[in-house]
Amino acid sequence: MSSIVSDDALATAMFTYSKILSPSLQVLAILANIFNIVTFCKIGLKDSVNVTFLAIAISDVVYVVMDAFISASVVIALSPWQRDLPVGMLSLSGCVHFYQFVFLDSSTCLETYLAITRCCCVALPLKFKNMFTVTRTLIIIIIIFTCNLFLRVPLFTSYGLAWLKSSTTNLTKLSFVAQKDFQTFNMVEQVGARTVCPVIFLFISTLCSFLLTKSLVAASLRRKLMTQCDSLVNNNASEKSQINEPITTKTLSAKEVQLVKAVTLVIFLLGNVLLVLSVFSLAQAAVAEFYPGKKYKNLHGVVTYAVNLLLISHAGYKSIIYYKFNTKYRSTVNALLRLDSKLH
């Protein structure tokens, strides 16, 4: 069998992806993140966590907009009427393709940073309470975006658009032109950003998810113990204070518990996405024929569609998590949508 996935199956998958699933998820993700941006700006940026959430929303919406542009370019490129256009749409999408990873990887870095800060604040609250200020968080956010952009400058400068004459249509179009070092920088991108980094971030996100989950369980047990202690009416006041003092100093507040739950769920879902990306990238590295233009190109295409849908979904469903676990976010959303008056 020359390919696990037939050409007909690939065509069906491509139609379903490009005409139904991808556009639907892209529109929802863009609207959700625009709403996130408005909501967090409305809440205020006096808290470092909200600043990070806002940066993630901005990064996510830019990534999805670029992905939507690439998808639209591919659809246009496959249309019969596009032959007279002055620019090759596949070439245009190829140029934008690498820029979207600046924002995809920035979102991943920001979510990982958020996980690390929450772990530090939960594990050692006295030591890290005042470390992650809004100013420092803004500096770190700028560094993350800057590094993800400038580390790719060699790749960005190794290709571009140029006027080329097609031998088949005899038309001159703006087409993708790669320099001699493009393949080298592209390989560095594939190995570093698409293979090594997802594995590293997967390890960090898994560790942070474990520590945050452990802290939630411990906080729940402490609250239960406090409730039991308060119900013991026969204890004298001095004995009761001796019991409660070491517990209350280590117990998370209700607001902190909800925040930790939100961050934990975001990081857990990020870990699942990174796991898929890591397996996908390692499969490309381990199986030489699992690549575009090779023996298993059809299977690679179908898996690529599935991975892209997962990435778009991850960029869009955070609104549900925020609404579920973030009290300020929920109250602000209800006020913006006037749900409070409708509920009453």
Q: Is 296 helix (H, G, I), strand (E, B) or coil?
A: coil
Q: Read off the tokens for 291.
A: 């690549």
Number of other residues whose CB lies within 10 A of the CB of residue 118 = 26
More confident residue, 218 or 44: 44
Q: How far from 245 is each of 88, 157, 214, 219, 248, CA to CA, in Å? A: 70, 61, 21, 15, 6
Give the whole-angstrom CA distance, residue 202 versus residue 185.
Answer: 24
Rounded-to-integer distance, Cα 193 and Cα 12, Å: 30
Q: How confident is the model at residue 16 (pLDDT cuts 50, 70, 90)?
A: very high
| Closest to 108 (Cα-Cα) out of 15, 17, 193 | 193
Length of the chain: 344
Instruction: Provide the residue type at 286 as one letter.
Output: A
DSSP one-letter code for 87: B
173: phi then psi, degrees, rounded to nearest 5: -135, 155
């959303």: which residue's tokens? 333
**222 vs 328 pLDDT, higher one:** 328
Please state the pTM of the whole predicted model: 0.86
Partner residues linked to 165 by β-bridges: 172
Which pLDDT score, from 0 to 100, does residue 232 have? 55
pLDDT, tens digit (0-9, with 9 covering 90-100), for 179-227: 999 999 998 998 888 888 888 988 998 888 888 888 777 766 766 666 6
Sequence-separated (6 or more) residues with CB below 8 Å from residue 131 = 120
Which percentage of the chain shows pLDDT scores above 90? 42
Please compute the mean of the pLDDT values over residues 283-300 and round it to a whole number.
Answer: 87
DSSP 84: G
pLDDT in tens, 232-272: 544 554 444 444 444 444 556 676 777 777 888 888 888 88
Residues forming a β-bridge with 176: 161
Q: The tokens of 336 are what?
A: 């913006």
Pairing assessment for the beta strands 159-165 and 172-178 based on DSSP bridges: antiparallel
| Angstrom distance (rounded) from CA 154 to CA 185 | 7
- The string of pLDDT tens digits covering residues 65-84 is 999 999 999 888 888 777 77
More confident residue, 165 or 314: 314
Mean pLDDT confidence for 153-159: 95
pLDDT at 85 over 90: no
Q: Which residues 6+ apart lie within 8 Å of 301 measured at CB?
A: 5, 10, 13, 14, 292
Q: Around 257, how many Cα atoms within 13 Å sit in the side-chain half-sphere?
A: 13
